[in-house]
Structure 1
Amino acid sequence: MKFEEIEALMRKNESLSEQYVLPENFIVVRLDGRGFTKLTKEKLSLEKPFDKRFSEVMVDITKHLFNIGFKVIYGYTQSDEISLLIHKNDNTFSRKIRKINSILAGEASAFFSLQFQEICVFDCRTIAIPNLEMLLDYFCWRQEDSHRNSLSAYCYWTLRKNGLSAKQATEKIEKMSMTDKNELLFQHGINYNTLPIWQKRGIGILNKEVKKQSFNPVTKEPVVYLRNELFVEKELMIREEYRVFLREIFDTF
């Protein structure tokens, strides 16, 4: 078989496996660290249950993903997870799911690996969301997941620091309600309500228009202009207030 014939056949086989996000759908991608439980426990020297530098790197990755060619509207990160909302009119890579997943996962993995000098890998999944209400549901769901994981993480490491094995601590908290977990922490001198908000609710990243002042060398006068800058929100509101906050951002798109 000639090269041209082989190439045509292979290209056809590739195209048959392609999936696309349909027009007028918002694109949400979620990246998760692969094997990060083992990585953070065995290879990286991190504070437990939350490490400030780790969180800062996750924020920096999210900000980096705003600037690699996609029209990102909003980013949210908690633990080793990042969610990005991409504009429904974004046509990067013709909206091919394979390309979206591979590019974003590759960029995030490379960025994290360089920061910690360890090989670290993110996986990525793409979700098509057709309307505003579902977008709000998605990000509120991820924030509730953040809250539940945060509470469990504090309980787990509190028990570990008090002599329980990994297996014992895991089994104990699996059977506890959220109220019981709060009570467990309180008995060990930890008021969960007073802990840093970013540890409980995650962190939002968004573009904001800010006023900047410059100088016109021709007229010799000051000039005020608007510029988009990435803003990091470490004190997100919760539940309905968070939904209102998100609606105000998403409504403009």
Structure 2
Amino acid sequence: MKFDELDGKMRSFETHHDRAVMPEMYVVARIDGRGFTRLTKEKHDFEKPFDERFHDYMLTTVQHLMNCGFNIVYGYTQSDEISLLFHLNENAFSRKERKWNSILAGEASAKFSLLLGDLASFDCRLCEFPNSGLVTDYFRWRNEDAHRNALSAHCYWLLRKQGNSATEATQRINRFNTADKNELLFSNGINYNDLPAWQKRGSGIYWKDEEINGFNPVTQQTVNTIRKKLYINKNLPFSEEYSKLINNIIEISGR
């Protein structure tokens, strides 16, 4: 068998199940840390329940992903997860799902590993939405999930520091409603409302126009130019205000 024939035969097995995202579908990549519980709680001495250094590693990883060859209009991170919203007309790699998943997982794993100085890995999956309203709902979901998890995490680690075992702390929290959790924290000198917003709601990254002053050597004149720069928002709004932020990002990206 000639090489060209062999090459074509083998590639048919490799690409037979290739799937491409359909045009005019909004796509969000959901990227999650693999085995991060052990990595962050056993192998590395991160502050509990939240460590700003770890969160900054995640933010730097998001920035890297938004500059690695895809047109990504919004990035969001909370805990060890990242969500990326692609431009509606992004057509990199002919929108092949396996390429997007593998590249983003690989880039996230490599960048975070370099920041941490240890091996770390992420997985990736794509969520496809037929309209912008569902995209907004997705990010509202992750925002609310961050809030719920943060409240439970602060309660859990408070109980652990008070001498409760992991099982005891978990069982107590499972019996608490939201008011009970807030009361537990408040009775121990912690006002949940006063905690940093990034712990409770995660952080967002999106593009903003920035005016740059430059000098034109040909005309010998000062010129002003506009360029896009990534903006990190560690104080995200919530509820309807957060929906407005996401809607605005989607609207601007479509102009």
- The TM-score range, normalised by the shorter chain, is over 0.9
| Aligned counterparts of 2:124 and 2:171: Cα–Cα separation in 1 | 30
Deviation at 1:220, TM superposition (A): 2.8
1:183 aligned partner: 183
Residues 1:98 and 2:98 aligned together: yes
Give CA deviations for 1:178-201 in whole Å, capped at 9, x if unaligned. Answer: 111111111111100000011101
SS at match of 2:122: strand
- Report the TM-score when normalising by structure 2: 0.96
1:19 aligned partner: 19
2:231 aligned partner: 231
> Counterparts in 2 of 1:1-253, with a 5 A limit?
3-252=3-252, 253=254
Deviation at 1:12, TM superposition (A): 1.5
Deviation at 1:204, TM superposition (A): 0.5
Which range moves more in the overlay, 213-222 or 188-197?
213-222
| Aligned counterparts of 2:35 and 2:178: Cα–Cα separation in 1 | 26
Task: Name the aligned partner's letter for residue 120 of structure 2.
Answer: C
Deviation at 1:17, TM superposition (A): 1.1
SS at match of 2:20: coil
Q: Percent identity?
A: 54
SS at match of 2:108: helix
| Aligned counterparts of 2:82 and 2:110: Cα–Cα separation in 1 | 15
Consecutive unaligned residues in structure 1, runs of 5 or more: none
Give CA deviations for 1:113-166 in whole Å, capped at 9, x if unaligned. Answer: 111121111010111112110110000000001101111110110000000011
Which range moves more in the overlay, 195-204 or 13-22?
13-22
Task: Name the aligned partner's letter for residue 72 of structure 1.
Answer: I
| Aligned counterparts of 2:46 and 2:187: Cα–Cα separation in 1 | 25
Task: Name the aligned partner's letter for residue 23 of structure 1.
Answer: P
Deviation at 1:33, TM superposition (A): 0.4
Quickly say closer, same or farther: Cα 1:4–1:214, change in 2 above 3 A.
closer
Give CA deviations for 1:90-128 in whole Å, capped at 9, x if unaligned. Answer: 111111111101100001101111111211110101111
| Aligned counterparts of 2:175 and 2:123: Cα–Cα separation in 1 | 30
Task: Name the aligned partner's letter for residue 115 of structure 2.
Answer: Q
Deviation at 1:71, TM superposition (A): 0.2
Deviation at 1:6, TM superposition (A): 3.5
- Segments ≥4 residues shifted beyond 3 Å: 1-6
Deviation at 1:172, TM superposition (A): 1.4
Number of equivalences: 253
